[in-house]
Structure 1
Amino acid sequence: MTALLDAALDTPPAAKDAVRYASWPARAGALALDVLPGVALITTMALLAVTTTHGSWLWWVFTAVMALAAMATFANRWLAPAITGWTLGRAVAGIRVTTADGAAAGSPRLLLRDLAHLLDTASLLVGWFWPLGDKRHRTFADLLVRTEVRVVDAPQANVRRLAAVILIATAVLGAGGAGLGYWQVYREDRAVEQARSEIAQQGPRIVEQLLSYGQQTVVDDFAKAQSLATDQYRPQLVQQQQAVQKAGVTDNEYWAVSSAVLSATKDHAAMLLALQGQRGSDPNTLKFITATVRADFEKSRDGRWQVATLTVLKKPLMGQAGPPGAAAPAAPAPPPGRPAPAPPNGGPGR
């Protein structure tokens, strides 16, 4: 009996406190809990930010959540171990990263270790599974920076509850972001549909007023036309109007016989129009006009559609009225691609 007691007292301390290395499942679970929630949230917010208008309030929300998720992930992996001795995943698994002599690994070494995990991935994932055959359960990163992952007593705090709260918060933020993203896309789609509908109805009337004017009402017609042009296009329009006044004003009226919306966003649109018109007021000298133009529109701050550019695609053909069957001679016209020379305003039915 005395011999057995003496043998027990003589047992070396190292035998009582043998080092236990973390198992591969424990390491994988800890890594997943540390990294996957942040990666999932960052990826979700990045995708939502890409589908949202850059600079909008919702874009800033997604970007802010993405940045906070990245900061929280980095702090958990590199700062928390230096302060508390744990990451969240390792605390739940009851493991800790140490140096080869069992000392705590500092933040710089942990950062280098995570960077060295690129080698584990670059080796066709062989490095990640290396602990299954290594007697000290080390990855290539552990071998490179001389670290080990050991089993230790878990902290007294209820880390499992904290981990559950973080996972639930991540899921709620991801679902909420997806809902906001869908709502924003739905709103933008509706806005585009509304813009397309508005320009399909208003576009032809705007171009008709832009290109029509009367000899007796030319001042009001030109002023109206200028209000239908954007600030960038208005100087060019005024120059055309001045040229018309110098040449002598006569009645000039256009109407759209066919139109098609080429493209539309909530603030910009393009339309193709086939126009017919007449110039003059004397039935004996009345001239009939046909032309094809492209009109680009922009929405003003007060919600009105205005012409940003007006481009001739098919030269206007102008013929004089005459006896039935007589050919109508074509008048000179600006080459394709040049802005329509006649200033705007007035409307059909004048």
Structure 2
Amino acid sequence: MTAVLDQAAPASWLQRAGAFAIDVLAGAGLIVTLALLALSAPLYSWFWWVCTVAAALAGVAVLVNRIGLPAFTGWSLGRSVFGIRVVSAAGDAGLLRLLLRDVAHLLDTAAVFVGWLWPLWDARNRTFADLLAHTEVRRVESAGEGVRRRAGAVLLVLAVLSGIAGGLGYYAVYRQDRAVDQARAQIAEQGPRIVEELLSYGVDSVDEDFAKAQSLATDNYRQQLIAQQDAVRKAGPTTNDYWAVSSAVLSNPEPTATEASMLMALQGQRGTNPQELKFITATVQVDFTKSGDRWLVDNLTVLKRPALNGGGQ
């Protein structure tokens, strides 16, 4: 084998580039697509896991084809198509030498890609990585019948997988963005009304109003709301009306399909006697959570305490 390899002509730059495109670039395209989809998906969501695991498996497959197969069979898929082989002075390059060679390709890239072009004027068509690993790429006999057919099948599978990944990613990201936009629109419309019903009650219907308010709160916030309602009962309830005069969906934190926060300016009045009405202003931040098809208050933080102004003239 050594004598045969010594007599073989160096592989041309185009042959090496074609083999590299099949062995690395085709798989890298799928890996990059999956990685971008993982970055666009919610962290640790099912879609994030699918994309991350698939990208890792694709990376392993590229390494096995690029380094593992040549170490034991002498061929990678791309090199078998173009009839070229990585060799050393002793014959076929072993696993460690092939690994060192691919790591050394970082030097080819770091030198503003000059290392990848070096075979165009090197007498033995070597890259910087070949010089460092003491390897050459030479033309040899074909790896056998059907090589191009197998390579074409692999490239077709990669293209189909990339297309599926791209389509699935577009659908998943588009659906997520659409769900967030719908949630933002829903909470912008419904949020102020929910808070008005949560905080308003009448002296003649306090039990019903309090029960309705509790139905608008999540389990997380309901106990705090009940404690506030009990304090109102002990103090002697009176009519308490609130209405939102200004509101905005917050972008920090960013809303999701099931969670959103609002900043709200409230005005209201307290009391039933026109001569003793108290006018109220307050500013609150309200966190909402979607349960089924309903938005519920998960927390209400008072940013500006209610201010009471004097009664009627």
Indicate which of 32, 47, 58 corresponds to 1:69.
58
* Aligned amino acid, residue 28 of structure 1: A
Answer whether contact 2:27 2:58 (CA < 8 A) is retained. Answer: yes
| Counterparts of residues 140-179 of structure 1 (less than 5 Å) | 140-179=128-167
Residue 236 (structure 2) pairs with residue 255 (structure 1): no
Aligned to 2:294: 304
Q: Deviations over 1:286-323 (max 9, x none)?
A: 323233333221223x3321223323344433234333
1:50 to 35, 39, 52: 39
Letter matched to residue 292 of structure 1: T
**In structure 2, distance between residues paired with 1:108 and 1:137:** 22
Q: Does residue 118 in structure 1 map to residue 109 in structure 2?
A: no
Matches within 5 A, 1:127-276: 127-263=115-251, 264-276=255-267
Aligned to 1:96: 85
Which amino acid in structure 2 is aligned with residue 262 of structure 1?
Answer: L
TM-score, length-scaled by structure 1: 0.80
Q: Which has the higher helix share?
A: 2
Instruction: Using the TM superposition, name which of 63-72 and 291-300 deviates more.
Output: 291-300
| Code of the aligned partner of 1:267 | T
Conservation of the 8 A alpha-carbon contact between 2:238 and 2:270:
yes
CA distance in 2, matches of 1:272, 1:82: 63
Task: Encode CA deviations 1:157-195: one digit per residue, 9 max, x unaligned.
Answer: 311111212222222222221211221222122212221
Q: Which moved more, 1:217-226 or 1:144-153?
A: 217-226
Matched, 1:295 2:291: no
SS in 1 for 2:33: helix
**Match of residue 25 from structure 1:** 14
Q: Distance in 1 between matches of 2:280 and 2:249?
A: 23
Q: Matches of 1:122 and 1:274 in 2, distance apart?
A: 57
SS at match of 1:246: helix
Partner of 1:316: 306
Shift of 1:69: 1.4
CA deviations over 1:22-76 (Å, ceiling 9, x no partner): 2222222212221100111111111111112223333233223212211110010
Give me the CA root mean square deviation.
2.3
What is the CA–CA distance in structure 2 between the aligned matches of 1:322 and 1:74, rounded to whole Å? 82
- Structure 2: state its 5+ residue gaps: none
Equivalent residue of 1:250, what SS? Answer: coil
Paired amino acid for 1:168: L
SS state at 1:60 partner = helix
**Equivalent residue of 1:232, what SS?**
helix
Partner in structure 2 of residue 38 of structure 1: 27
Gaps of 5+ in 1: 1-13, 324-350
Q: Report how far residue 152 of structure 1 moved.
A: 0.8
Supply the distance in 2 between the matched residues of 1:242 and 1:67 (Cα, whole angstroms).
56
* Alpha-carbon distance between aligned partners in 2 of 1:182 and 1:105, rounded to the nearest angstrom: 43
Could you give the per-residue CA deviations for residues 111-153 of structure 1, whole angstroms, max 9, x where no partner exists? 1111122222233333323333333322222222222222110
SS in 2 for 1:137: coil
Closer/same/farther in 2, CA of residues 83 and 246 from structure 1, 3 Å limit: same
Q: Percent identity?
A: 61
Distance 1:155 1:241, change over 3 A: same
Secondary structure of 1:97's counterpart equals strand
